[in-house]
Structure formats: structure tokens, C-alpha cells
Structure 1
Amino acid sequence: MSLKRKNPLLNEFDTPFGTIPFSLIHPEHFLPALKERIAEAKESLVIIKDTAEAPTFQNTIEPLERIGRDVHLVSSVFFNLNSAETSEEIQTVAQEFSPILTEYSNDILLDPKLFDRVKTVFEAEKNNPSLTPEQKTLLKKSYKGFVRNGALLGEEEKTKLREIDKKLSQLTLKFGEHVLQETNDYELVIDNEDDMAGLPGFVKEAAAETARHRNHEDKWVFTLEFPSYIPFVTYADNRELRKQMTIAAGSKAFRDNDRNNEEIVRQIVNLRLERAKVLGYRSHADFILEERMAGSAQQVDEFLDELLKKAKPAGERDVAEVADFAKKTDGIDQLQRWDWAYYAEKLKKEKFDINDEILKPYFRLEKVVDGVFEVAQKLYGLTFTANKDIPVYHPDVTAYEVNDANGKHLAVFYADFFPRATKRNGAWMTSFKGQYVENDSEHRPHVSIVCNFTKPTASTPSLLTFNEVTTLFHEFGHALHGMLANGTYETLSGTNVFWDFVELPSQILENWAYEKECLDIFAKHFETDEDIPADLIQKIKDSAVFMEGYQFVRQISFGRLDMAWHNRTEPFEGDVYGYEGSAMEATELLPKVPGTNMSCSFSHIFQGGYSAGYYSYKWAEVLEADAFEHFKEKGIFDKDTAEKFRKNILSAGGSEHPMTLYKRFRGKEPDAEALLRKAGLSN
């Protein structure tokens, strides 16, 4: 029997819409499949390089775009499972898988013969333009991809680059494994119900369920998974236990054990800097930001500094108000970080008569999902139908087939909502297959959103906090960007856009969750099916900017920490704790907690793709605030506005420069004041 018959990753998938046959795939399949697909890709590369024909867009750039598509499929399945359904076996494979993939990428990008052909096409187009805007973008991206990965270097520098990339691929994986292990291992076991005073019933019920799952009968267990941690520090009256949880969360991968990430942070920072310098850049930030809307580290620093000037006075007022409230309520002399969520929530309840305990009954997960689907139907004509014949990688995952307004198949959508030990914390959108057109045949995308919401219990369905509602809308906005992709080339399709543009579709959709016209669709009491009262919706809107100054400064602090690590021009050999403290000093609104460190568990920048890019959340907020003002002018479900947004933003992907696309939608550049108006910080 041939290898291809034994390894499901090397066969055509005999499944609905060619979806991934997860149940057939085991950890031992990944490395052989990766090596086989890489070997096939290299054979195709030889054909491109050795053709006697003069290099053209059609015989060089387009086939280069197609090469490795099967490699990408194997790697996307692998890395998505490593994030959402990992195991010790998968993590072991990852240590070999990532370096092989990195080496393959370098084999292409450091191939002088291949680069010569790409360069020839690039130079010819500069002198005699003949391509469509999308083709020009692909050509520029292809050429710069080679140059930015060392194609112009000498052999010694190319070898050094390969060594750096291999080390980085291993270190970023190890960083994430440490954070996941630290998250999974911690538990706060409570056997005295008095220690849970202040916690809503739904929180205690979930903790009892966790205790049973972790073999702590007749007790309650709280973990560092967000659906457990956030409610505890928000509602628990026991200040000492809030402190314990806060320190535990803040010390992940910073404790004195074999999962400490301090040295890994140093190595990642220094290797990224070394790589940038080998390529001729001043810093890693300069290298990254060359391919972003912001353009430069200086522009990012100025952007964050300007926001900080506007936001910090409001943040200081927010903290002073909560501190005064805590003093008046409980005699707290010094507001600490473990007090912030607790007293801010009590103050919010006092000012607006609203909190999660009041709201959660109206946000049953299934109803919210139906609601976000209806929003997509009203805006873009999409329909979602659950299909149990589509394989999934875990029983908690639901797969949907997505059709457009004409009933044409548009995408496959996976939804994975509940925490488990095999899944990393947080929420994200990802894809298993991208969208592209080849030989007049369109290949539609398979996309997924992964979240960590409270699981249903024996007596209560999964009820979301309002923050979780906006999280679902956020990730679904990313998913729409993927599902509505309508390009020719996969590497320019869907979410393959500049990193500081990719958050626009996600962040703009959050706005719908605050609007009565939208909430009336799905916000119904899980027991009575009554609509959410109009006065409660108004309270949601009224409280939308509550403590926004504090939250604004907090996000800026993360962006500045990211830039402090990645805009360095000299290697870092110092104290991670002290360096972080200096970087965040100007944005600290609460006393620092000894023994905690953000950097050692800052997965966005040390494991994910946000290095020198965390500022992009705020950058995209400027875009989405301005764009949503346009929707509000016309009506949030206005078909013409939605069609302009779909055509010029969601479906266009990275086919042109994002500012070109944005102005085509909006008719002008974004107004930065729109964000300040939205946040209530405008003068």
C-alpha cells in the first residue's frame, strides 16, 4: 500500500466540500505528510527555475503563488490543532515540524535562481506596466518577500538567517507551551462556601462543575481560564483570594520553575533584532512596520504617545473615582490591581444599575450565535446551516455550510466555543483553507472561530457576559473577512492584509452588539424568552464608555511594551522584570504587583504574529470608529453601505493598499477624532 493511501493528509478528502477528515488524522501523520508535500513542491520549483522561457508573471509569479498550497494545508491543520486541540504528542511533533517548515520557506526565498526570475519580472513591470492592480500587488509582495527574507544577502548571511529562523520557530512554540501548561495547572480549590461570598450563582455552579471534572468532589475550583478567572476577580468579596488569583494570572511563566519564559523572551528579542540587522534594518520594529499602514516605528510611537496624552487624564480620573468608591464602601486605603475589576463593577452597578448578573440571562450562547448569523444575513445575505456530516476535531465544535443570498455555497464555518485543557486561552479566528480562483474554478474558504466561553451546566445553559457577546461579534467579524473573500490569489485573499488593517472587520462588528435594532434580534431571557427590556439596552449604551479612559491607557501600555521589546537596536541581556517596569511606567495607573510579569505570558507578541504590531488594535479602532459613523448615518443594516463595505473591504482582501480600499469605501481618509468621540474622550 502506498504512503498516500495510508496517510489521510496525502489524499483527496472524501468529505463534504473537501473538509478536513479530522477523525482519520493522527499526530504521526503530520511529519511524513509535510515532508512529502515539501518534496512535491520542490519538484514544481525546479520546473519554474529551469524553464527556457523568459520570466513572465504567468510563468513565474502565478505558479510560485500556487506552489506549496498542499504544504500550507498540512501546516494549517497542524498549527490550528496545536492551538485548539493539542496533546503531548502534537507538541512533540511541533518541535520538529516548525523547523522543517522554516527550512522549506528559506529554501524558496533564498534560492538565487528563483529570485533572479522574480526580479526580472518585477523590473520589467516597473518599466512597462501591464498588470491589473491585484497582479501588481502580488508581484510586489512576491519580490519583497524574497528581499525581506534575505535574497540579496551573501551566502554567509543566508546561512546565519536560516539558523536564526530555525531557533525562533522552536522558541516561540516553547513559549506558548509554557503559558498553556501554567494556565492548565493552576487551580484555586475552595471548600468553604463563605469564601465565595459575592459570586453570582452561575459562577459558583460553573466552579462546582470544574471541581467535579478535576476530581474535587463537593468543592469548588477556579482556574486561570478566562470564564473562571474573570468572574472571580470581578465578584468575589474575599480580597485575599482575589489577590491570590491576580498574582497567579500575572506570574504565569514567570515563576521559579522549568516553565519560566524570561530567558526565552531574551532569546526571541535578540534573535529578532539580529535577524533585522542581518537584513539591513535598524530594529525588528523597522523590519515589521515597513509592511504596515503605520510605516515606521516613529509613526507608531507618535500615534501611541498622542493617544496617551488624550487618554491618561481620563484614565487617572477613572482610577481616582474607583479608589474613592472603594474607600467609601470598604475603607480600602490603597486600591490594588486585584481590587480594580471588583470595585469598578460595583460602581458600574451603582451608577447604571447594570452588571453581568443582570445581563447574562439574556445572552444564551445559542441565541447570540443565531443573532450574529442574522446580522450577517441582514448585511450580506448569508445563511448558515449546521451540517453534522462535516467532520470536526472535537465534539464541542459545530460545522456550518454557508451560502450567499442566491443559495450559492460560500464557505465552511467552524465554531468552537468552550475551554478545555487542550486549548489555549483567549479567542481567535483562523482558517483551514483559503479562497482562490484557478483555471476558472473557484475554491471557497474553510474558516473557524475559537473562543473560551462558560460551558453549560446540568441546570443552566451557556450564558455570556456582555464582554463575551462583543468577543463573539469580534471574532465573527474576522470570520466574515475570510468567508466573503473574493480574490484570485490565496495569499492576497481574505484576512491576508496588512496587520494593522486586519482588525477593522472584527472591531467594527462589535458596534452592532450595542444597538437596540440588533439586540432585539437575539437578546431574550433564557427562561421566559422575553425580549431584553429597552431600558436595559439603554443602560448598556450609557455604560459603554464606563472606565474607557482606564481601558484606553491599558491597551496603549501593551502597545508600548511591545515596541519597547521590538524597537531595540542593541541586544538585551538585562532583567526582564525591570525592563518591563520601565517600559510601562508612563502608563501605570495602579500599583505594580510584585512577582508578576506581562512579558513572560504575552503570547500575542512572543508566540502569535503581533510582534511590533500590538498597536494595530488601536490603529484599527480609528478605522472602525470612522467607518461605523458612516453606517450610523445610513442605518446599521443599510444594504448600500453594507454592500460598499463588503465589496471594498471584506471581499477585496489584500488586493490593493488598505488605504486605497478604505477611501474607496468611505470616500475619504479616516478621521482620527472618531475614535475619541466614540470613547467619550473628545474635547
Structure 2
Amino acid sequence: MSSDLPLNPALVEWNGHHGLPRFDEVKDADFSPGFNAALASHEAEIDAIANNPAEATFANTVVALEIAGDELSRISALFWGKAGAHTNETIQALEREIAPKLSRHYSKIGMNAALFARIDRLWETRKELGLTVEQERVLERHWKGFVRAGAKLPKIEQERLADINEKLAGLGARFGQNVLGDEKSWSLKLSDEAELDGLPGFLRDAMAAAARERGEQDGYVVTLSRSIIEPFLTFSTRRDLREQAFKAWVARGENPGETNNLGIVRETLALRAEKAKLLGYENFAAFKLDNTMAKTPEAVNTLLSQVWEKARAKALEEEASLGGLIAEEGKNHEVMPWDWRHYAEKLRQRMFDFSESELKPYLQLEKVIEACFDVAERLFGIKAVEVKGVATYHPDVRVFEVYDKDGSLKALFLGDYFARSSKRSGAWMSSFQSQHKLMLKNGRKGELPIIYNVCNFAKPAEGKPALLSLDDAKTLFHEFGHALHGMLSDVTYPSVSGTGVARDFVELPSQLYEHWLTVPEILEKYAVHYETGAPMPKALLDKVLAARTFNAGFATVEFTSSALVDMAFHADGPVGDPMAVQKQVLDGIGMPSSIVMRHATPHFQHVFSGDGYSAGYYSYMWSEVLDADAFSAFEETGNAFDPVMARKLKNNIYSVGGSIDPEETYKAFRGKLPDPQAMLKKKGLAMVEELTGSDA
């Protein structure tokens, strides 16, 4: 990664609106020299801390580490933001290069003997240092980070670990790019009315817009964006086309050629297993779970397996009902995965007398965004104001100022809502800048959080509003819950700011926030018809609320099967044939043939595009135990916006980041650890025996 270009100041000196980056002044060619300069600068800072002749103190070692690498953090935030949300061939080539280089850089820091000696000395004497709870948590995070990076290993094993980490970084980058490559390269063009049969107007509009975005002058295209493929599978009456589209969707990452991910999966699992052994763990799952609420693979599998039995039984009941509909139509085929959504929609219409297409005109993107902000204002006292004319990394991105109840600026929030071929699939929250209160080298004290959400909703035709499904609306609330975790953060140290928490706790603020979407007073206010402005009729609202647990068996089977496969991959050693292991796990649990994993192995980006959720996909369910129990606290008061509970929620969950142990923060909010029964009740699954495990 060599370049003779000078460092572009816009990469590191963010002097845009309230400190936003000047996205319009950053070019792709700037990143290579920028990374070179920032890596060298950070290395010099690390050497100065490690070789400081003064005795190690919390200030000259831990605080110094907390504020070191500011330039690298800024360039990385800009680069990885673009790599995920608006990439191109130049960015992808650099991603393949920079991912391993960054891994080498951080491995070198983690194995710096002089630096670890200072951290280790502080850790051993921590009880004598007079540290606050947050400071001790920060020290613990650094000490454990060094140990998990191999600081205690012999030199030869450190070198091997660094090599493994570098290879894993490169593999993760390639995995995600391959999935995006398959998504970009496939589309199904439809033109005549027979091919469009059953498709409602909102979907036709989205497919027409997708066709234009892909350079088609007319017609409609089915793409592999979830916001198009799922409604197509739901509404299309053409079983042959549903099958064709579905098979392309689930084949991402498994197609022959350059984008096939199976070799990457195999190598990744082998390297992860070797890494865990080097660090003294029985397997990679044990390594990953050591620093979580769950603690052990056994605790995770106990939760997953007990939920699985209930979910599978429910899904088989649902499948039988769908089979009855097929028979009524005079057809004799089994329920296949490309049939499920189609017939589930028909069953929902019969059971609850409403359809997704009837509901969608009441779920405008604009109104759901307003609802997100309104709930935040009612619960936490913050107010969002949109700002026009601010340059961002793509014209679709919107900028909001977020103010606290005293009128002070609390955060900046960016919303990037529409699917495009330059964006990876899914939805996520991230930050350009995290909240903290430390004095920086440039003289500034603390920083304003700059948080962004990325979604993949179908972009409407020109002049028409974007209409969401109920699942889309939940996704928007979910990601905004993550955003609130970042924006409401009120800690001193960057490493424990916002979402800097245990992986199986991080989904609590997001999943909990979803509950407020279906609070009746929110739907009554914001679920208004996009043409007439009339509120959703009470009869329809009641049906929507009554149908909240409809199809719960299907949804839980989709998720839980993925989590069980993830755990199986990482609880053993190297895997020769990943798809054979996937099949073995699914056969062993009795996976219904009518349902597939939500994320099959070749496109399981949570697990293989980086290791964020590796041996950790279960955490959505772990957090679901927490979030269902947490919302029950509001239900028990009879007021979804109870001010006492809202204050406890803000002070103990949303604002403390990782500055306090998650078990303690949860108990401070709720008064006790969570009850899994609330989660099972929310899902509409039968009551089960007491679930065992660490905390859930």
C-alpha cells in the first residue's frame, strides 16, 4: 500500500457541520497515503507509551492508550463506512490490502512486551490505585485485550498468532466482497403482466426503480436485496419464478467461480481453531464466549436447544396449515421454502383478515422515522432536527442534529435508508466518532457522538413515498435503538463508550426499542395512509397487534438453526466440508425441509465477514431474553412511557456503555436478572421448563 500522495487533511481534521467529516473533500485515492501516515503516527505514539521511563500510572499508560491513534481511528471510520455502504472496485482492492495490514499493526501492539509489562503491573496492583468502577473496567479491558492478543505467549507463538490474525482479516474482507458480488451480478428481469401477477403496486414501483438503477430502460427486476426478494416471494403467484429467485438468494457465496466462499469458510474455521488452541482454549467458541454474559458454549446451547424444540413444533403446525391451503387450491406439492412466505401471507389474511399490502400504505418511511424520534423524546427527552444541504458520503444520506432536553447538542445522527448496488445487504449501526470526556492532544475535551444507521429499503419511484413492511419498520426501530446506545452514551473513556459492551448484551438496546413500534399510541399517531393521511383504522390496528406472534415458529426456526450451526462450527476443530457439517447439524435437529437457515454458511456474513458474531450469532436470542423481560417492566406499570422506568433505562442501560458489568447494569434497571419466560411469551411459543444457563 504505497503512495507518494500527501496526506489529505480532510481525512483527520473534521471541520464540517458540528465537526462532521468533509465527505465531499475526501477522494478514494486519499485513503492509501492516509493509512500510511496514520499507522506510522500511531506506532510512534505506542512506542512513546511503552518506553516511557516514568513508572506506569493509569494516566500515562491507560489514558494515553485511550487517546492514541486518533488519526487512524478517523481514517478507518471513513474508510470502513464507505466499504460497507458505498463501495467500488478501488475501495474493495484497498480493503483486501488494508485489512491484513491493520491486523499486523494491532498484533504488533498487542505483543509489545514493554507495553504489556506496564499494563500488567497496573492490573496486578489495581486494588491499590484508587480507581473508579469505570477506570477498573477500562483497565480490565486493556489487560484482557493484551492477553487475548497473545501478550503472554512465547515469541514464536506470538508470530504465528499474528500471522493467523492477518490471514483471517484478509479472508473476512474477501468473504463479504464475494457475497456482494453475487448480489450485484444477479437479477431477474420481468416484463409481461403474467410474470408480474400478484405483485402489488409498491413492489412494482420498487422493482421498476431497481431496474433503472441497474441501467434497464424499462421493465422490472427482482434483486437479491431483502426489501425486494422477500415481498416478491410473498406476493408472486408464479411458483416457477419464486423458485428461481429463491434459489439465487440462498446460493449467494456458493456459486462456482471467484465468488465461491466455501474455501474461505474452511480456511477461516481452521485458523480460528488454531488461534484458540494457541491462547489456551479448548475451541474457538470457548475463546469467544469467555468475555460474554453467556460465558460457555454449554450455556448457549442449553438456551438454543430448548427454544429449538418449541420453535420446531410450532413451525410444523404452521407448515400443516400452509399445506392445507395448497390442497384447497387443488395442488399437490409439498410446502417448499419458496412457497412458505406466499402461503403464510394467504393464511394471515384468512386468520386476521388483513394482508401485508393492506398494511404497507400506512407505514411510510418518513412517518416511521418520525415515530423513532418521538419515542426517543418521550423516553429520554432528546429531540432530532434534520439539517439539509450537508455533504455526506452519498446523496441519499440524511443528517440530523440531536438535542438534549436542556437544549444542548447531544449527537449527530446520519440515516442511510435505501438499497443500492454499492451497499452490502442487511442493516447496521456504526459511528464515525464515539462519545467520551477525555482531553485530546488537539486541546479538545471530549467528543460529540456521530452515529449512523444503514438500511436497505427499496427506493421508491420518483415522487412516491417509500413504504415499509412491518418487518422493515421493526428493522428501522432496531437500528435506531443501537444508535441511541451510541448517542446517549455518557462515559469518560472511549473504549467503553456506547456499544462497547459484551457481544451478547449489545443487542439489548436495539431489540428492546423495537417494542415501542407496536405500542398502540405510536401506531395510532404515525401509521397514517400515505395518500389520505387517515390513521390506520382501529380494526386493522387491532388485527396487526393480534397477529404479532403469527409465523413465530418459522421465524424462530430460521434464526435458531443458524445460531446452532454457528456454534457447531466453532465448538470443534477444523472442518473439512462446511456444507457437510451444516447438513449434519440440520439433520440432527430435524430441520423442516420447508424452511432454510436465515443465513446459510456461504453468505453468513455475521460469522465469516470478520469475526464479530462468530460463535456469537446466538446473542440476538440471549438479548431477546433480556429485552422481553425489560419491556415487561414498562408493561407492569401500565404505561409504555413510564417516566421512572424510562429514567432507569437511560441511566442503567443506554448511557453507561461498558463502564459497568452488564449483569450489574441490568439488575440496577430491573432489580433482578431476566426471566426467559417473557421472551417465549413474546414469541408466542409454549411455556417451557426453567431454562438453565449463566444468566438466561
Report the TM-score when normalising by structure 1: 0.96
2:213 equivalent in structure 1: 213
Residue 60 of structure 1 deviates from its aligned partner by 1.1
> Within the alignment, does 1:323 sit opposite 2:323 as a pair?
yes
Contact 2:11 2:26 in 1 (8 A): no
- SS of the equivalent of 1:197 reads coil
- SS of the equivalent of 2:385 reads strand
Query: In terms of mean alpha carbon deviation, does 320-329 or 619-628 score higher?
Result: 320-329
- SS of the equivalent of 2:376 reads helix
Instruction: Give me the whole-angstrom Cα distance separating, in 2, the residues matched to 1:343 and 1:11.
Output: 53
Contact 2:558 2:597 in 1 (8 A): no
Contact 1:251 1:595 in 2 (8 A): no
Whichever residue aligns with residue 579 of structure 1, its letter is V
Aligned with 2:582 (options 561, 580, 583): 580
Residue 577 of structure 1 deviates from its aligned partner by 2.2
Contact 1:497 1:653 in 2 (8 A): yes
1:103 equivalent in structure 2: 104
1:342 equivalent in structure 2: 342
Instruction: Give me the whole-angstrom Cα distance separating, in 2, the residues matched to 1:145 and 1:215.
Output: 48
Aligned with 2:676 (options 668, 672, 676): 672
Query: In terms of mean alpha carbon deviation, does 334-343 or 190-199 score higher?
Result: 190-199
Instruction: Give me the whole-angstrom Cα distance separating, in 2, the residues matched to 1:171 and 1:293.
Output: 28
Residue 586 of structure 1 deviates from its aligned partner by 4.1
- SS of the equivalent of 1:410 reads strand
Aligned with 2:467 (options 458, 463, 469): 463
Instruction: Give me the whole-angstrom Cα distance separating, in 1, the residues matched to 2:11 and 2:193.
Output: 54
Contact 2:554 2:595 in 1 (8 A): no
Residue 447 of structure 1 deviates from its aligned partner by 0.4
Contact 2:474 2:514 in 1 (8 A): yes
- SS of the equivalent of 1:469 reads helix
> Within the alignment, does 1:529 sit opposite 2:533 as a pair?
yes
2:625 equivalent in structure 1: 622
1:112 equivalent in structure 2: 113
1:384 equivalent in structure 2: 384
- SS of the equivalent of 2:453 reads strand
Instruction: Give me the whole-angstrom Cα distance separating, in 2, the residues matched to 1:485 and 1:39.
Output: 31
Instruction: Give me the whole-angstrom Cα distance separating, in 2, the residues matched to 1:617 and 1:255.
Output: 29
Residue 244 of structure 1 deviates from its aligned partner by 0.3
Instruction: Give me the whole-angstrom Cα distance separating, in 2, the residues matched to 1:509 and 1:186.
Output: 34
Whichever residue aligns with residue 83 of structure 2, its letter is N
Residue 50 of structure 1 deviates from its aligned partner by 2.3
Whichever residue aligns with residue 114 of structure 1, its letter is L
Instruction: Give me the whole-angstrom Cα distance separating, in 2, the residues matched to 1:391 and 1:220.
Output: 31
Whichever residue aligns with residue 480 of structure 1, its letter is L
Residue 275 of structure 1 deviates from its aligned partner by 0.9
1:406 equivalent in structure 2: 406
* Mapping of residues 494-573 of structure 1, within 5 Å: 494-568=498-572, 570-573=573-576
Contact 1:137 1:655 in 2 (8 A): yes
- SS of the equivalent of 1:495 reads coil
Instruction: Give me the whole-angstrom Cα distance separating, in 2, the residues matched to 1:676 and 1:600.
Output: 30
- SS of the equivalent of 1:460 reads coil
Give the gaps of 5 or more residues in structure 2.
Answer: 688-696
Query: In terms of mean alpha carbon deviation, does 528-537 or 658-667 score higher?
Result: 528-537
Residue 199 of structure 1 deviates from its aligned partner by 1.0
Instruction: Give me the whole-angstrom Cα distance separating, in 2, the residues matched to 1:414 and 1:596.
Output: 28
* Mapping of residues 175-574 of structure 1, within 5 Å: 175-439=175-439, 441-458=445-462, 460-568=464-572, 570-573=573-576
Q: Which runs of 4+ in 1 moved over 6 A?
A: 592-597
1:70 equivalent in structure 2: 71
Contact 1:360 1:465 in 2 (8 A): yes
Instruction: Give me the whole-angstrom Cα distance separating, in 1, the residues matched to 2:36 and 2:596.
Output: 47
Contact 2:319 2:594 in 1 (8 A): no
1:603 equivalent in structure 2: 605
Contact 1:403 1:411 in 2 (8 A): yes
- SS of the equivalent of 1:415 reads strand
Alignment CA distance shift 1:330-1:185 (3 Å): farther
Whichever residue aligns with residue 230 of structure 1, its letter is E
Whichever residue aligns with residue 606 of structure 2, its letter is H
Instruction: Give me the whole-angstrom Cα distance separating, in 2, the residues matched to 1:596 and 1:652.
Output: 32
Instruction: Give me the whole-angstrom Cα distance separating, in 2, the residues matched to 1:294 and 1:273.
Output: 20
1:590 equivalent in structure 2: 592
Contact 2:477 2:510 in 1 (8 A): yes
Contact 1:9 1:29 in 2 (8 A): no
Whichever residue aligns with residue 502 of structure 1, its letter is V
2:693 equivalent in structure 1: none
Contact 2:402 2:411 in 1 (8 A): yes
2:16 equivalent in structure 1: 15
Query: In terms of mean alpha carbon deviation, does 194-203 or 215-224 score higher?
Result: 215-224
Instruction: Give me the whole-angstrom Cα distance separating, in 1, the residues matched to 2:117 and 2:446.
Output: 31
Whichever residue aligns with residue 628 of structure 1, its letter is F
Contact 1:414 1:449 in 2 (8 A): yes
Report percent identity of matched pairs.
38
* Deviation digits for residues 172-213 of structure 1 (CA, Å, limit 9, x no counterpart): 000000000100111111222112211112212222232333
Whichever residue aligns with residue 576 of structure 1, its letter is P
Contact 2:276 2:282 in 1 (8 A): yes
Whichever residue aligns with residue 555 of structure 2, its letter is Q
Q: What RMSD over aligned residues (CA atoms) do the two structures have, in Å? A: 1.9
Contact 1:372 1:473 in 2 (8 A): yes
Instruction: Give me the whole-angstrom Cα distance separating, in 1, the residues matched to 2:12 and 2:296.
Output: 44
Instruction: Give me the whole-angstrom Cα distance separating, in 1, the residues matched to 2:177 and 2:169.
Output: 13
Contact 2:203 2:228 in 1 (8 A): yes
Report the TM-score when normalising by structure 2: 0.95
Query: In terms of mean alpha carbon deviation, does 323-332 or 14-23 score higher?
Result: 323-332
* Deviation digits for residues 205-235 of structure 1 (CA, Å, limit 9, x no counterpart): 2222323333434422111111211111011
Whichever residue aligns with residue 94 of structure 1, its letter is E
Alignment CA distance shift 1:587-1:495 (3 Å): same
Instruction: Give me the whole-angstrom Cα distance separating, in 2, the residues matched to 1:518 and 1:597.
Output: 32
Alignment CA distance shift 1:670-1:597 (3 Å): closer
Instruction: Give me the whole-angstrom Cα distance separating, in 2, the residues matched to 1:19 and 1:218.
Output: 39
Contact 1:251 1:596 in 2 (8 A): no
Query: In terms of mean alpha carbon deviation, does 449-458 or 596-605 score higher?
Result: 596-605
